[in-house]
Amino acid sequence: MIIMVLFGKMGINYIIVSKLIGVLSGISIIFLLIVWFEKYSDRKGFNLPAYGAPILLVANSAFAYWSISGLETVLFAAFVFWGIYFASEKNLLFIPMLVLSALTRPEGTMIFGLILIYYWVVRAYKFRTILKLTAVYAVLIAPQFIFRLAYYGDLLPNPFYAKTGWSAEYFFSGLSYIWLFLKQYGFAGILIAVPIAAVGRMNRKMRLPLFITAVYFVYILMVGGDVLHGHRFFMVLLPLLYLMFFAGIDSWLSKTAIGRTGAVYTITVLIILATAGLTYGIPYKWIRSVRRTEIGLVDGMKFQSNIIRQARGSDYTIAMSTIGAFGYYSDARVIDLLGLTDRVIAKNPKPVEGIESTWKERNYNIPYLMKRNPDLILFSTGMKPSAPAEKALFLSSKFRKGYYPVFHIDQYMWTIYRRNSGYDKPDKYFPNPQFINLFTQALNYNRDEKLDLAMEYALQSERCSPPDFYLPLALMGEIELKKGNLESGIEYLQRAFELSDGYAIIAGDKLGRYYQMIGDSARGQKYLDIAGQRNTLF
């Protein structure tokens, strides 16, 4: 952030600078991989294994993805990698490197602490010296912590509280996150097994990165992995894993009969080619899909922010669960449903049991949000709630009656919930979220044209929902029309329109078109006028 502010003051585009920093950070890691390996290897002459780790890193599509993502991921990895290298050399430059890593991500302080623990366990320094190292680090990092306390009132940033937790749910989520990485980039665990098996053969200075890697795996497990796809949390470990993997292979080959013949080069080349091919090929389609999805999400938020700006200017408040690009391109007041930029939600979450979701962000505070009275609420998947925070909104009577979905058609149709300024009744909360789980599943089946299943789940949702929840009725009307059941479809749409006090926009539009089609133009126009007047962003 500090770096970006400096470039911003000079009028340089933030996005270009952020991508350039990521690429340069990646190049510095590749350079150090070669230097580090050459330094600890006993091999004389051309050291082919030294190029194995850099080649794997270049072949790693996730590393390339995060290098140009514009996020701090690879910059953090570079600071950590250089810091661990200097620490393994007992070079005091590791302290400022890890201070910079901590300024980039809070885990930098954890890694510094792990290095000191390792120093103490292996008796690399006397305890008094370790205290001095700690004091130097504390002096350098203190200004940031003072600023955090003064400005935010916390030592850790909001995302730490919003994205992490300590429960069995997070543990199993972390387990799944680690296993996916091992399947796609870890050769089903071989990437870890080789350095562990070869630890007795490798240079002693390789034990520090092995120790840090092992503890960091536990950290990833306990916090539940990352909310973003693309193995972001493993980017800081990739250089260490590849370095130790080839150090282990080299130590094994050098102590066998093969290592004393020319065949060692052939075997090394085959290992490099095979592992690089697997690294690039196994996750190829998956990482491209992740990239397309993220680009689509960013483009969509940019488009939506422009449309809303044209309709409302910048004087409005919007709540959403994916604020990134929208917050960047919009001048509006943005409330993060997940608490990434809201201290109250991050520090005082009020999650509801029984909400089904694949999202890892499970912290939210709906009563607080409803008191903020946002003008608009934007879901990540249109009208359908997918995040736990989005689903929990439907437990609020103020949201169900005080907000309604409006639809905008331009490049594509998208949905946003707009506040009904005329609704001011007290907020009451429905205790059982099962109705919204069922409704979401009904929307999924309707999207997939599985109409019978969609109807079944919509009916179940309607039966166990609060009496004012009209969206299942509107959906059932749409499904029946698709199936050709005109009479029952119109009946469901009319019930939805009446229950919503005329705020079921899609129902009103379909009813208007139906009555115009059968010759009742006056009645049809009435529905269309109401729907048209209310289907606006302002």
The answer for 382, left when phi > 0, alpha when psi is -120 to 50, beta otherwise, is left
Looking at mean pLDDT, say which of 19-33, 145-159, 215-229, 350-364 comes out highest: 19-33
The Cα 28–Cα 373 span in angstroms is 48
Is residue 231 very low, low, confident or very high in pLDDT (cuts 50, 70, 90)? very high
Domains annotated for the chain, with CATH where assigned, are: 2-289 (no CATH), 310-534 (1.25.40.10)
Looking at residue 258, what is its pLDDT? 62
Confidence check: pLDDT of 9 > 90 = no
Looking at residue 293, what is its pLDDT? 86
Q: 346 CB contacts (<8 Å, ≥6 apart)?
A: 158, 159, 161, 162, 339, 340, 363
Q: Are 109 and 148 in contact (CB under 8 A)?
A: no
Looking at residue 447, what is its pLDDT? 92
Confidence check: pLDDT of 259 > 90 = no
Of 288, 87, 310, 56, the C-alpha closest to 186 is 56
The C-alpha torsion from 514 through 520 and 522 to 528, rounded to 10°, is 0
Quick: pLDDT tens for 80-120. 999 999 999 999 999 999 999 999 998 999 999 999 999 99
Confidence check: pLDDT of 329 > 90 = no
Is residue 325 very low, low, confident or very high in pLDDT (cuts 50, 70, 90)? confident
Looking at mean pLDDT, say which of 29-33, 307-311, 343-347 comes out highest: 29-33
